[in-house]
Amino acid sequence: MTPFRPLHDAWTVRSASGDVRAPAAVPGCVHTDLLAAGLIPDPYLDDNETRLTWIGRTEWCYETEFSWDGTGHERTDLVCEGLDTVAVVELNGVRLGETANMHRSYRFDARDALRVGRNRLTVTFGSAPAYAERLREELGERPGAYTEPYNFIRKMACNFGWDWGPALVTAGIWRPIGLHGWSGARIAGVRPLVTLGDGTARVDVHVHVEKTGAAEVSASMGGVSGRAVVPEGRDEAVITLELPEPRLWWPRGYGEQPLYELRVTAGDDVWRREIGLREVRLRTEGGAFTLAVNGVEVFAKGVNWIPDDCFPTRVGRDRYAARLAQACEANVNLVRVWGGGLYESEDFYDLCDRLGLMVWQDFTFACAAYPEEDPIGAEVEAEAREQVTRLSAHPSLVLWCGNNENIEGYADWGWQEALQGRSWGGGFYLETLPRVVAELDPTRPYWPGSPYSGSMDLPPNDPGHGTMHIWDVWNQRDYTVYRDYRPRMAAEFGFQGPAAYATIRRALSDEPLLPDSRGLLHHQKAVDGNLKLAAGLKPHFPVPETFDDWHYLTQVNQARAIQLGVEHFRALWPHCAGSVVWQLNDCWPVTSWSAVDGDGREKPLFHALRRAYADRLLTVQPHEGGLALVAVNDTGRPWRASARAVRHRFDGAALAAQDLALDVPPRAAVTLPLAAPVAGPGDPADELIAIESEGCARALWFFAEDRDLRLPEPRYDTAAEAVPGGLRLTVTARTLLRDLAVFPDRLDPAAHADDQLVTLLPGERAEFLISGAAGLDERALAGAPVLRCVNDVAPLRDETARR
């Protein structure tokens, strides 16, 4: 008999007034219930969002009936793994408890309320905005980047709307709920804390129990086991397991991810998890911010992660698996779970453990001053204790971080004046959270916030210390400005681009579809977003005249911006120990900084990231008034090879060449200046440098911006051939083709291409595998708007023709 009995059936949801009623999915939320019942339109389409704010302002009652035949257990608890958010829980009219924190679980002793036979369970959710506004009234206004009161309630902040997300304030039973019967003892939490010794791994298994008398606990793993007794009056025992010759867990790209099953028992309660053996340190000497795993310093090829859906219960293991597989395909090794979102579910961290993706987890605070008074203060302590315990078993978790941008806000955004001495969250980031991490999981590094420079006496966003967020690019300045920064860890930097065409078309009925048509503007949440897209394009490209050119060029520009940033940061290794791109994913169809859009489609940025994050990278960088090749070797083996740099005319003619010997130690970057004949152009508008070496992608350098280049009118031949898995489209260039990309989703939303943004010299060929759809029109695949290159953008073409 399994002691946990889920109560997921026969739920209904109704508004307090009784006007709205629907069958309910549990786990789930009110929006998805109303949508399934056909009572509301899809909140992600057109501007439906604006007509649905009433949902967040309504009180919702979830109710079910179930039968219970009594058990022989001493205790029966009602376990709520997640309630969103302000709830009263009643069983047969008996109030079991109240909740106000989405980031915690709750357990109520249900013995006295349960009846043999029929039982009625009711969870009534108050309006989250109304609760937060009441608390704001009581505790006093706190400044933030947005006006919504998300800092007055422990609920996923971006649910109130963000600069990439809609305001759809949910309510509901968002994680499993059920009855748990137990006798004697139950395991309330296990913290397997790993340290490495000389050729051994030591796992201190902290077993936290709830019990009715003395209890014996045991732990076993890899053929080693131990026992302990939790004496009367105590609730924790530690069992130490020493494993000889451990197989260590490594981040992807550094080694394997072996996992060991750890089994813990207390009475007849059993807890099982696969854990990894590894040690992580954060090296901060001299301002550094370098993660070291098993003593090896790691460059974080990172992305920021936001909730993958505004309705988190729609994100199950499959969705996580698909998204994290995309991260791996983009050669990412670290995912930062951003503080405006969630502590994700077990599946997320379990997949990261298996994939070797390091996880940097923010505590869930973002972009606002937070009150430290109760009830928020007490909730934060409880939530932190629960999450630090829950996630301690995951080898992927390498860093706890106090918050997103709140220390910066306090120091640099004028908050102190607005606060008039009120609490702002500093006590959380500098006292509560580090104390909880030090007590419950001292094996994990903790950093008070991002950005943060290691001391409240330093400017939080100081490039020379700790983590840095670079947002003047995108907001005000051209993306080449990334090169002016020498951060120790670029924890956020991003550039917007629109979603894939098929995603936009699914979500919007705009006719005609224009960059500023109503729907597309509604799905652009950033302040002056489209103006910034245009401003960002201007130094590089001519002003696009059609929607298709706008769409292609803004996507290309996004990719170019981030590729330039990433390659610059990687070239700075080991001074800079990571680049964490804002952002991997989206939660709905939107123009945003993401590499993968809200329908899971890869934007051109995704492919640029894959190249920029390759284990072996060749990149051309400005260097001492000239140019240099930087070879970055993110493998454990030395990289010895020859490379050839050639300055070409656009017609392919080689104008100058230089042979270079690459000799790059493991995990190192080497700078090789380019000789003047290669680095100095005769005609900057008609020349480029290509540097090739076997076993890695070639590096390209153009001497001028595209708008100032004399790109030839594009000429090429195409051939399509059916191959296993789809269609192979071969493009043979007869002229230079810059940033060639194929967008088969223009023809069929199910179609997908395996590559984008390939630059070809005359005579060269590119192959694209197009999968997911059959019967595509091969002629349509051979030209705009499906097959694109920068040369065919109208003003550039006209310019060329005029000459």
How far apart CA 120 and CA 13 sit, in angstroms, is 14
Contact of 693 with 618, CB cutoff 8 Å: yes
Binding string, 324-343, against ligand BMA, x = CB under 6 A? ----------------x---
Q: Which residues contact 689 (CB under 8 A, 6 or more apart)?
A: 620, 627, 645, 646, 647, 648, 674, 678, 679, 699, 700, 701
Do 555 and 276 form a contact (C-beta atoms < 8 A)? Answer: no
Give dist(CA 388, CA 363) in Å, integer.
Answer: 10
- In angstroms, give the least distance from the CB of 149 to ligand BMA: 17
Rounded to a whole number of angstroms, the minimum distance from the CB of residue 581 to ligand BMA is 11
Residues 6+ apart with CB under 8 A from 320: 308, 344, 345, 347, 348, 351
Within positions 433 to 472, which residues make up the interface with ligand BMA, using CB under 6 A?
471
Q: Which is nearer to ligand BMA, 164 or 701 (CB)?
A: 164
Q: Among residues 164 and 410, whose Cβ is nearest to ligand BMA?
A: 164
Q: Cβ 582 to ligand BMA, closest distance in Å?
A: 6
CB-wise, 246 or 529, nearer to ligand BMA? 529
Residues that contact ligand BMA, how many (by CB under 6 A): 11
Name which of 603 and 746 has its Cβ closer to ligand BMA. 603
Cβ contact 94:51 at 8 Å = no
Least Å distance, CB 372 to ligand BMA, is 21
State the Cα–Cα distance between residues 790 and 767, nearest whole angstrom. 18
| 617 exposure class (CB count in 10 Å sphere: 0-12, 13-18, 19+) | buried
Burial group, residue 70, by CB count within 10 angstroms (0-12, 13-18, 19+): exposed
Q: Which residue has the tokens 């219960």?
A: 313
Contact between 523 and 44 under an 8 Å Cβ cutoff? The reply is: no
Quick one: 129 or 339, whose CB is closer to ligand BMA?
A: 339
Closer by beta carbon to ligand BMA, 138 or else 528: 528
Q: At what angle do helices 529-537 and 547-571 cross, to 10 degrees?
A: 70
Nearest distance in Å: CB 132, ligand BMA: 18
Whichever of 161 and 681 has its CB closer to ligand BMA, that residue is 161
The closest of 692, 576, 689, 690 to 643, measured between CA atoms, is 692
The least distance separating ligand BMA from the CB of residue 148, rounded to whole angstroms, comes to: 13
Residue with smaller CB distance to ligand BMA, 492 or 686: 492
Task: By CB under 6 A, tell whether 364 contacts ligand BMA.
Answer: no
Give, as ranges, the residues between 505 and 534 that touch ligand BMA (CB under 6 A). Answer: none
- Shortest distance, position 403 Cβ to ligand BMA, whole Å: 10
Taking the least distance from each CB to ligand BMA, the nearer of 162 and 573 is 162
Tokens 């990894």 belong to 276
Token pair in block for residue 736 = 């230079």
Taking the C-alpha atoms of residue 759 and residue 253, their distance in angstroms, rounded to an integer, is: 27
Shortest distance (Å) from residue 707 CB to ligand BMA: 27
CA dist., res. 106 & res. 264, Å (int): 22
Kindly identify the residues of this chain, within the stretch 256-285, that bind ligand BMA according to CB under 6 A: none
Distance CA 297, CA 578 (A): 11
Site string for ligand BMA, 144-173 (x = CB under 6 A): ------------------xxx---------
Please tell me the distance from the alpha carbon of residue 436 to that of residue 442, in angstroms, as a whole number: 9
Residue 404 near ligand BMA by CB under 6 A: yes
The pair phi, psi for residue 191, each rounded to 5°, is -120, 100
State the minimum distance, in angstroms, from the CB of residue 477 to ligand BMA: 15
Residue 142 or 611: the one with the smaller Cβ distance to ligand BMA is 142
Cβ of residue 597: shortest distance to ligand BMA, in angstroms? 15
Q: Is residue 415 close enough to count as binding ligand BMA by CB under 6 A?
A: no
Least distance to ligand BMA, CB of residue 150, Å: 12
Query: Nearer Cβ to ligand BMA, position 157 or 689?
Result: 157
How many Cα neighbours within 13 Å face the side chain of 372? 14
| Nearer to ligand BMA among residue 404 and residue 563 (C-beta) | 404
Q: Which residue number, 66 or 471, has a Cβ lying nearer to ligand BMA?
A: 471
Least distance to ligand BMA, CB of residue 492, Å: 6
Closest distance to ligand BMA from the beta carbon of 496 (Å)? 9
Pairing of strands 578-581, 300-305: parallel
For position 412 contacting ligand BMA by CB under 6 A, the verdict is no
Q: Could you tell me if 20 and 39 are in contact, meaning their C-beta atoms sit under 8 angstroms apart?
A: yes
367 lines the binding site for ligand BMA (CB under 6 A): yes
Using rule CB under 6 A, residue 582 touches ligand BMA = yes
Name which of 243 and 367 has its Cβ closer to ligand BMA: 367
Interatomic CA distance for residues 789 and 67, integer angstroms: 65
CA distances from 225 to 220, 222, 391 (A): 4, 8, 22
Nearer to ligand BMA, 20 or 473 (CB): 473
Name the minimum Å distance from CB 162 to ligand BMA.
6
Contact 581, 493 (CB under 8 A): yes
| Shortest distance, position 757 Cβ to ligand BMA, whole Å | 23
Contact 367, 145 (CB under 8 A): yes
Which residues, 6 or more positions from 350, have their beta carbon under 8 angstroms from its beta carbon? 274, 394
Q: Give whichever of 450 and 555 is closer to ligand BMA, judged by the CB atom.
A: 450
Reading the block at residue 716, the tokens are 């090429």
Q: How far is CA 622 from CA 4, 74, 643, in A?
A: 62, 72, 18
User: What are the distances in angstroms from CA 507 to CA 49, 165, 594, 598, 609?
Assistant: 12, 14, 17, 10, 26
Residue 333 contacts residue 298 (beta carbons within 8 Å): yes
DSSP string, 83-147: EESEEEEEETTEEEEEEEBTTS-EEEE-TTT--SEEEEEEEEEPPHHHHHHHHHHHH----BSSS
Minimal distance, residue 145 CB to ligand BMA, in Å: 7
Residues of this chain, 561-580, that bind ligand BMA according to CB under 6 A: none
- The distance of closest approach from Cβ of residue 402 to ligand BMA in the complex, given in angstroms and rounded to an integer, is 14
Residue of 372, 492, 548, 602 interacting with ligand BMA (CB under 6 A): 492
| 405 binding ligand BMA? (CB under 6 A) | yes
68 vs 471 by CB, closer to ligand BMA: 471
286 phi-psi bin (left φ>0, alpha ψ -120 to 50, beta other): left
| Residues found near ligand BMA in the complex (CB under 6 A) | 162-164, 340, 366-367, 404-405, 471, 492, 582
